[in-house]
Structures are given as structure tokens and as C-alpha cells.
Amino acid sequence: MARPEPFDLSGEKSEGDSNISPLREAWQRDALDGATRELLAEDARYFLRQSLSTPCLNALRACGGVWLEDLQGRRYMDFHGNNVHQVGFANPAVIAAIKQQLDELAFCTRRYTNRVAVELAKKLARVTPGDLAKVLFCPSGTGAIGMALKLARVATGRHKFISMWDSFHGASLDAISVGGEAVFRGGVGPLLPGCEHVPPADSYRCLWDCASRGGCDLKCASYLEYVLEHERDVAAVIAEPIRSTPYIPPREYWQSIRRACDRHGTLLIFDEICHALGRTGRMFTCEHFDVTPDILVLGKGLGGGVMPLAAIVARPELDVAADRALGHYTHEKSPVACAAALATISYIEEHGLVENARALGERALSSLRGLAARHALIGDVRGLGLLLGVELVTDRQTKERATAQAEEVMYRALSKGLSFKLTMGNIITLTPPLTIAAEEMDRAVAIVEECLGEVEAAGC
């Protein structure tokens, strides 16, 4: 069936690497056996195709700790993990909690509550910063973003939002309205009205060229404040405190935006779906900035990498929507997902995973900076905790994105047993489980270096 194509999104760089590239096909030709190809063909026959995910790269038969294992029995250290694997894949404590809960109470119908859901709400109120204390759960990060946006509209009586270009908050129509990536926003008709976007705090590619003035001098924060002043009636600013790419703003960036929001009666929503629960070396990323949002959104690894679970945690004053349905999700108080989440948070606390993320992250960042001195392809290295980014460029002066080379590095690394994703086409993004050992981290950095060397030597 012919359909109008207002955008050509096929070459769009975004969130993740392309799933329909010639390099991927070449990797699959070399690496996959007949049984895997058959399963991939069957997958393609029955699933609707969509960008970034289907058709798929390969098929899995097992996962555990830092490892993925494919149908052919090959193992990959997973430095991607969709950001669900803070406690490692198939963490035994999480699996045990789920099994026990299945035997006690497997589902909770709406109108009822249950002990584990209340325990988890209490726990989140205790561990989240500031006065965040009232909780709603749902099965997906996207759903939680929708609940946060709705709550902000009801609480402020306003409908406008400010968010960041290049951001991702989920793929539903409300989430892509505040999201900033063409591959999600393009060609799907009208989005929510009143969604303004501003440039992210990307000091490497700053629109106001802050590098020429010695680094970030908060022009991007001033611009956001300028938009707030001109729009006047913005319900909320919504952003990840650190975009996964990663873009890491200075502390004063979020502090000044927090103050501006307060001046304008605008709420601040932090999407910590990817990085909460320790990834950046603090339990919550906003703690690096000493800024507490009005609504904090959690997801992904909250369910221990097994159960789908997301949450919003809001200030008590925002409990103003008793007569509206903010979420009304069928699985909103899933005892099994809540048991997984309680086990996950306990595991993170008892095994010092936040401290491990901080210490190993610093060590990895310094090794990756060492690579930059030896490899001209590296334009920038940045990271906080175990959220690490290596940006490849063809020329350090022009900063042209080395997208072809980055894809080469990624598939070569995959062949050597290391899996990671590319963001914006040229940024090697490394997010291992927080349980990772120093030797595994070193091995991953060594693989990245080997692949960079091969790609440079081949002049790809």
C-alpha cells in the first residue's frame, strides 16, 4: 500500500544503531549459522518491521551476569543491556524473589493493593532524594512518562512542555511529542501541542560554541530560561539529567534551571529511566547536581532486568489528581514486578554497586582517555560512573561524525565478544552491568582499542 512519505528517515542517526545497514548484513553473513538465520527469517515473517529493532541482529538463548549467549553458543559481554541490567542479567536474588512471589500472590486486580507494592512505594519514598514521596507504578517507562506529563498538566493547569532536541522519552505519541529525535517524531502526524524543544547541554558540539570560551558557560541554560520567560505558562521542563549519549552538564546547569522553573511556576520532571539506581555512581543521577525534581521517573532496571516496571515518584503537594486517571494500568501494582524491584534495590545496596560504578567508571574513563591519545578517530571521551561515551570523528577540528568507522568498530567488537550500541551514529556508548569486575571492564576497553586500531589501519 502506497503511503505519503513526508520524511526520509532511513539514514537518520539516533538513540541506537541502524538495523538495516550493509555492515550488519555482512556481519550476519559471516557470523550466523543456518538455524539462527531460519529463526531470524521466521521473526521477520511474523513481527511488524520497525526501525532500530526489527528485523533483528541475532537470536539469544541465554543471559546471565554481564553475558549474553546466542543460539550458536557464542558469548558476548553486554555493554548495552537496554540499561536494564544494573544487577546483571538473571540475578539469582531477583529470580528467587520472583519465584517466591509467584507462589504467594501472582497478580493483584485493580481496586486491591498488596504488601509488596506498598513496601516498594515506601522504599522508593525513602531512597529518592528530597521530599519525593508519592508513587505510581506502571509496566513501561513510556507509560510512566505519560503519567508524569498528565500529572504536570493537572497540577499546574497548563499544557506546555519544554524538552531537549535529541532526547528520547519513549515511542508513544505523548512521549515523542517531548522527545527530540526525528526517527521517532517524523511521519506520524500531529503531535501534542505546546511542546517546545531547546538544544541539549552538549559542550562538545555546543550550538553557542562554548569550547571557544573555555567550556560550558551555561548559554544553553540561559536559552531555556529565555523560552520559559517568553512562553510564561509552561507546565513542566522534562529531561534526562544526563542524556545517555552522554551529555554531562555542569552542576550549575540544573541548579539554574531548577531556580528558573521555581520562578515561573513550572515543574521539573527528570527522566531517570535509564540511569537511576546507581549507574552514574550515585543512586539517582540528579544527586550529582544537588537538584531534586518535582517528579522523578524510573523504569528499565527497576524490575531487575526481568520484570517490566516503571514508576513516577512525586512531591506530596502534587497529589492533586484524585478525580483523574493518571495511569490506570492493568498491571499497576504487580506484586511480582514489585518483588523483583525490592530485591533489585536491596542487591544494589548490599553489594555496594553504586560505589563499584563510581570506582570502575573513573578507572574506565581514564583508560578511554588514554586511548584518545593514541587514536585520532576519537574526538571526545566522556562519562560518569558506568555511563561512558567515546565519540568518533573523522577530523578533530571539524568534528565530522565518523559514522561509518563507528559502525565498523561496533561489528568488529561484536565478533570479539563485546556488545555495545552506537548513539547519534558515531558515539560508542558503554553501559555495562554495575556488577562488572575490573578485569572485564579492562577487557572491554582492550577490545575497543583493538577494533579502533584495525579500523584506522584499514582506512575504513
Binding site for ligand PLP (CB under 6 A): 140-142, 145, 168-170, 240, 271, 273-274, 299-300, 310
Compute the residue count for the chain: 460
Choice between 128 and 367, CB closer to ligand PLP: 128
Amino acid identity for residue 310 in this structure:
A
Choice between 291 and 378, CB closer to ligand PLP: 291
Q: Minimum Å distance from CB 257 to ligand PLP?
A: 18
Q: Minimum Å distance from CB 407 to ligand PLP?
A: 20
The edge-to-edge listing of strands for the beta sheet with 427-430 is: 378-384, 387-392, 427-430, 421-423
Structural contact between residues 305 and 114, judged by C-beta atoms closer than 8 angstroms: no
219 three-state secondary structure: helix
Give the strand pairing for 387-392 and 378-384. antiparallel
Q: Which residue is nearest to ligand PLP (CB)?
A: 141
DSSP assignments along 363-389, one per residue: HHHHHHHHHHHH-TTEEEEEEETTEEE
Would the CA dihedral through 79, 429, 291, 116 be positive or negative? negative
Choice between 172 and 346, CB closer to ligand PLP: 172
- Torsion, Cα of 146, 147, 148, 151 (10° steps): 120
Choice between 88 and 170, CB closer to ligand PLP: 170
Q: Minimum Å distance from CB 169 to ligand PLP?
A: 5
Q: Minimum Å distance from CB 176 to ligand PLP?
A: 11
Q: Minimum Å distance from CB 15 to ligand PLP?
A: 7
Q: Minimum Å distance from CB 275 to ligand PLP?
A: 8
Question: What is the DSSP-derived secondary structure letter of residue 285?
Answer: G
Rounded CA gap, 169 and 346, in Å? Answer: 27
213 three-state secondary structure: helix
Choice between 24 and 243, CB closer to ligand PLP: 243
Choice between 179 and 361, CB closer to ligand PLP: 179
Question: What is the DSSP-derived secondary structure letter of residue 436?
Answer: -
